[in-house]
């Protein structure tokens, strides 16, 4: 189920990122190509303007100079003296005559650069630079100029092929395309990993829910089995024996009621519907009240019950009195349940600048290091505690939820000499929220 969700999430993420990358790539490519084309055309304009300016000022145009200019500027020149080809062009014809004719015709038709209307004594120079319509030979930039010369004029046409620019644009498109594809593949991989990590809590929650339902079913089935068996036995038992079966039914009913109450408590925590009533509480006074509440039970169980308070005065802190009483009650109940007769259970309180810390210590069997993190999981009970039918493995989980609501921490350590010590650390100035 979650694998399908992960695949779909990754697909939609990849689709969205691919669309964004494609749009951004096209925009960047269009801007870059426009800049390259404009730079190429501007360079051609600048080069031809420099070339024509030199030709206008010179009385003699040498073969060597013209050849050098064509090589330097990557252009092809066609120069007419009036209507007669210049000696340079007539000796070594080069370039496509049709292209030069097209350039001059375009200049005459679209830019009105007509030699028939050119009056050298009055006009110093006329020049037009423009892109030629695309032909079978490819794309070209053209420059056509009429230069006054010795009472006549020179008709100069210069062509620059756009093939190098197109090759550069093709390379750039390939580079952009490969880069975008690589980025898309990388982002898709990251989306796959991210969705996997994002779904991990959901997967873990689903597994916990399955374990919770299985454990709850098991815990509920046991008292139901006893109750039904006792009820069947009571129906056929002698009147004097029925009370024993009814007592068993009542005991298992109360046990089931406690289990259901704990499960509802955790359900409220999961749905964030726990109501909190934080108030200013004297932490040492609260611990004394709890000690006095449980002292008769400790005497009945033949346990040495102690309380240790700090010598200095303890400032009041903001917390939910009943919730903290409930959490500490869970820890004390556990300590009483797993400490053998003659042992001790101690309550203590310590205060630092930012925190106060409650501790419940015992000298019972203790908790293995491998189980210290698991004991706060739902329905988890240590092996040496599974015979205790009064504990379902939910109390410590409830205590942890209460402590987390107060923005505190709960942990377990070994008691020196043997046993377990549970520690609840709470912010001294209160961190309880009004609602879970």
Residue 107 within any structural domain of the chain: yes
Question: What six digits make up the tokens of 88?
Answer: 């340079």
Determine the length of the chain.
436
Domain count along the chain:
2
The C-alpha R_g of the chain, in whole angstroms, comes to 47
Residue 203: how many other CB atoms lie within 10 Å: 15
pLDDT digit string, tens, across residues 305-330: 999 988 878 788 888 888 888 889 88
291 and 155 in a common domain: no
pLDDT digit string, tens, across residues 341-375: 999 999 999 988 888 999 999 998 888 887 777 78
Question: What six digits make up the tokens of 392?
Answer: 């379902």
Q: What are phi and psi of 341, to 5 degrees?
A: -55, 140
Which domain range does residue 102 map to? 73-161
Beta strands 355-362; 344-351: pairing state: antiparallel
Q: How does residue 384 score in pLDDT terms, banded at 50, 70 and 90?
A: very low
Q: How far is the first Cα of the chain from the last one, in angstroms, to the nearest whole number?
A: 30
User: Given 135, 161, 187, which residue is the final one in a domain?
Assistant: 161
SS (H, E, C) the chain: CHHHHHHHHHHHHHHHHHHHHHHHHHHHHHHHHHHHHHHHHHHHHHHHHHHHHHHHHCCCCCHHHHHHHHHHHCCEEEEEECCEECHHHHHCCCCCHHHHHHHHHHHHHHHCCCHHHCCCCCCCCEEEEEECCCECCECEEEEEEEEEECCEEEEEEEEEECHHHHHHHHHHHHHHHHHHHHHHHHHHHHHHHHHHHHHHHHHHHHHHHHHHHHHHHHHHHHHHHHHHHHHHHHHHCCHHHHHHHHHHHHHHHHHHHHHHHHHHHHHHHHCCCCECCCEEECHHHHHHHHHHHHHHHHHHCCCEEEEECCCCCCCCEEECHHHHHHHHHHHHHHHHHHCCCCCEEEEEEEECCCEEEEEEEECCCCCCHHHCCHHHCCCCCCHHHCCCCCCCCCHHHHHHHHHHHCCCEEEEEECCCCCEEEEEEEECCCCCCCEC
Strand partners, 215: none
| Stretch among 123-127, 237-241, 333-337, 430-434 having the lowest mean pLDDT | 430-434
285 and 157 in a common domain: no
User: Given 145, 161, 177, which residue is the final one in a domain?
Assistant: 161
pLDDT at 214 over 70: no
Residue 380 within any structural domain of the chain: yes
- CA 318 to chain CA mean position, Å: 35
pLDDT digit string, tens, across residues 158-188: 999 998 999 999 999 999 999 999 999 999 9
User: Given 127, 161, 195, which residue is the final one in a domain?
Assistant: 161
Strand partners, 147: 154
Residue 385 within any structural domain of the chain: yes
Residue with tokens 């449980």: 294
Residue 234 within any structural domain of the chain: no
Burial state string for 132-151 with b = 16 or more CB within 10 A and e = fewer than 16: beeeeeeebbbbbbbbbbee
Residue 255 within any structural domain of the chain: no
Q: Specify the pLDDT at position 386.
A: 40
Residue 106 within any structural domain of the chain: yes
Residue 153 within any structural domain of the chain: yes
Residue % of the chain over a pLDDT of 70: 83
**What average pLDDT does the segment 378-407 reach?**
67
| Stretch among 84-98, 170-184, 271-285 having the lowest mean pLDDT | 84-98
Q: Specify the pLDDT at position 181.
A: 93
Burial state string for 177-186 with b = 16 or more CB within 10 A and e = fewer than 16: eeebeeebee
Q: How far apart are CA 229 and CA 255, in angstroms?
A: 16
This prediction's pTM: 0.53
CATH number of domain containing 311: 3.30.565.10
Q: Which of 304, 265, 306, 309 is nearest to 283 (CA)?
A: 309
Sign, CA dihedral 165-166-168-169, equals positive
Q: Specify the pLDDT at position 202.
A: 79
- CA 346 to chain CA mean position, Å: 46
Residue 269 within any structural domain of the chain: no
**What average pLDDT does the segment 408-417 reach?**
90
Sign, CA dihedral 378-382-383-385, equals negative
pLDDT digit string, tens, across residues 18-34: 999 999 999 999 999 99
Beta strands 304-308; 344-351: pairing state: parallel
414 and 286 in a common domain: yes
């Amino acid at each position: 189920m979650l694998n399908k969700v992960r695949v779909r999430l990754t697909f939609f993420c990849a689709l969205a990122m691919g669309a964004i990358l494609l749009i951004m790539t096209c925009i960047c490519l269009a801007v870059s190509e426009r800049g390259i084309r404009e730079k190429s055309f501007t360079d051609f304009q600048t080069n031809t303007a420099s070339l024509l300016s030199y030709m206008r000022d010179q009385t003699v145009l040498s073969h060597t100079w013209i050849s050098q200019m064509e090589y330097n500027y990557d252009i092809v020149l066609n120069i007419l003296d009036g209507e007669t080809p210049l000696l340079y062009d007539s000796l070594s014809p080069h370039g496509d005559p049709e292209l030069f004719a097209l350039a001059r015709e375009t200049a005459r038709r679209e830019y009105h650069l007509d030699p028939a209307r050119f009056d050298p004594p009055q006009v110093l120079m006329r020049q037009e630079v423009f892109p030629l319509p695309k032909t079978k030979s490819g794309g070209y930039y053209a420059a056509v100029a009429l230069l006054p010369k010795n009472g006549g004029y020179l008709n100069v046409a210069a062509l620059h092929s756009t093939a190098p620019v197109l090759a550069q644009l093709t390379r750039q498109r390939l580079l952009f395309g490969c880069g975008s594809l690589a980025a898309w593949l990388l982002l898709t991989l990251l989306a796959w990993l991210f969705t996997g990590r994002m779904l991990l809590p959901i997967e873990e929650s689903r597994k916990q829910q399955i374990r919770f339902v299985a454990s709850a079913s098991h815990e509920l089935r046991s008292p139901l089995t006893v109750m039904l068996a006792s009820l069947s036995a009571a129906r056929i038992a002698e009147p004097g024996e029925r009370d024993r079966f009814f007592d068993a039914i009542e005991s298992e009913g109360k046990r089931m009621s406690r289990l259901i109450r704990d499960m509802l408590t955790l359900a409220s925590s999961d749905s964030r519907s726990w109501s909190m009533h934080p108030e200013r509480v004297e932490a040492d006074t609260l611990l004394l009240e709890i000690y006095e509440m449980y002292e008769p039970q400790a005497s009945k169980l033949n346990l040495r019950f102690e309380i240790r308070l700090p010598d200095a005065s303890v400032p009041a802190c903001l917390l939910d009195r009943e919730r903290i009483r409930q959490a500490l009650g869970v820890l004390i109940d556990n300590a009483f349940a797993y400490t053998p007769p003659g042992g001790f259970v101690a309550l203590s309180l310590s205060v630092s600048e930012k925190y106060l810390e409650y501790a419940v210590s015992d000298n019972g069997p203790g908790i293995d290091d491998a189980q210290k993190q698991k004991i706060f999981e739902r329905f988890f009970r240590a092996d040496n505690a599974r015979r205790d039918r009064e504990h379902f493995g939910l109390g410590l989980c409830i205590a942890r939820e209460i402590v987390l609501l107060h923005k505190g921490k709960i942990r377990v350590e070994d008691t020196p000499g043997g046993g377990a010590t549970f520690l609840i650390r709470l912010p001294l100035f209160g961190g309880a929220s009004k609602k879970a």
